[in-house]
């Protein structure tokens, strides 16, 4: 089984990535982190997942093990397949997705492409303990309250997650969390 692929990116855009390994060329759909962190004509080592089913064979490439883990777990959610899982990873950072799942953030999950309220609830329920290392349960309410407050002010939920994940919200009152986050947004 292929677990890692090392190669040079020949083409990188929002619809596809073509990576060359020796004499072989692999085509895949890039994730958010690949689009954000990788450049053409440079060599990278990607995590991978080979999906074989009765209709096709697909090779999925991921920037790191966290993305791969989220993909595999999302793929296991009922009524959510590999293409839907990849579409989710194309539009949000893996850490944000893991945080949303751990915080049971149905509102944030339902804003991802192809995810409605019922699918968001299924994702949160079926994967609720898979990514708990990203957020402690005592901070769930503070995080959700801060997210809702900042989102109501018009900020993008993914940007808010990025700011909040770099803050120590455990020892700060909610009002100060919002004030500090506003300064960074």
Question: What's the rounded Cα separation, in Å, for the pair 110 and 119?
Answer: 7
179 and 105, same structural domain?
no
- Phi first, then psi: give them for residue 58, nearest 5 degrees: -125, 140
pLDDT computed for residue 131 by the predictor: 78
87 and 43, same structural domain?
yes
pLDDT computed for residue 5 by the predictor: 85
128 and 72, same structural domain?
yes
Question: What's the rounded Cα separation, in Å, for the pair 47 and 61?
Answer: 6
pLDDT computed for residue 126 by the predictor: 92
pTM recorded for the entire structure:
0.72
Strands 43-52 and 24-28: unpaired
Question: What's the rounded Cα separation, in Å, for the pair 183 and 178?
Answer: 9
pLDDT computed for residue 158 by the predictor: 75
The rounded average pLDDT for each run of 10 residues, N- to C-terminus, in the chain (185 residues) is 81 85 86 88 90 83 89 91 90 85 87 90 89 60 79 83 79 86 88
Q: Element (H or E) spanning 45, and its range? A: strand 43-52
142 and 102, same structural domain?
no
123 and 154, same structural domain?
no
61 and 151, same structural domain?
no
Pair 9, 39: CB distance under 8 Å: yes
122 and 81, same structural domain?
yes
146 and 118, same structural domain?
no
Domain limits for position 59 = 4-133
CB hemisphere CA count around 175 (13 angstroms): 0
96 and 27, same structural domain?
yes
29 and 16, same structural domain?
yes
Please choose, from the candidates 82, 89, 83, 102, the residue with its C-alpha nearest in 3D space to the C-alpha of residue 63.
89
125 and 151, same structural domain?
no
Place of tokens 């989710």: 88
57 and 146, same structural domain?
no
């Amino acid at each position: 089984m292929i677990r890692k692929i090392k190669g040079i990116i020949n083409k990188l855009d929002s619809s596809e990535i073509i990576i060359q390994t020796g004499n072989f060329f692999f085509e895949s759909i890039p994730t958010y982190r690949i689009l954000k962190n990788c450049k053409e004509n440079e060599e990278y080592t990607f995590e991978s997942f080979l999906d074989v089913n009765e209709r096709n064979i697909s090779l999925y490439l991921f920037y790191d093990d966290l993305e791969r883990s989220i993909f595999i777990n999302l793929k296991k959610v009922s009524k959510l397949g590999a293409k839907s899982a990849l579409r989710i990873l194309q539009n949000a950072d893996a850490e944000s997705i893991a945080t949303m799942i751990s915080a049971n953030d149905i509102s944030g999950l339902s804003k991802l492409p192809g995810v409605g309220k019922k699918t968001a609830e299924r994702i949160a329920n079926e994967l609720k303990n898979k990514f708990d290392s990203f957020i402690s349960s005592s901070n769930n309410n503070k995080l959700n309250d801060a997210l809702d407050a900042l989102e109501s002010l018009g900020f993008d939920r993914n940007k808010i997650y990025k700011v909040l994940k770099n803050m120590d919200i455990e020892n700060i009152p909610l009002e100060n969390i919002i004030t500090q986050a506003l300064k960074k947004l």
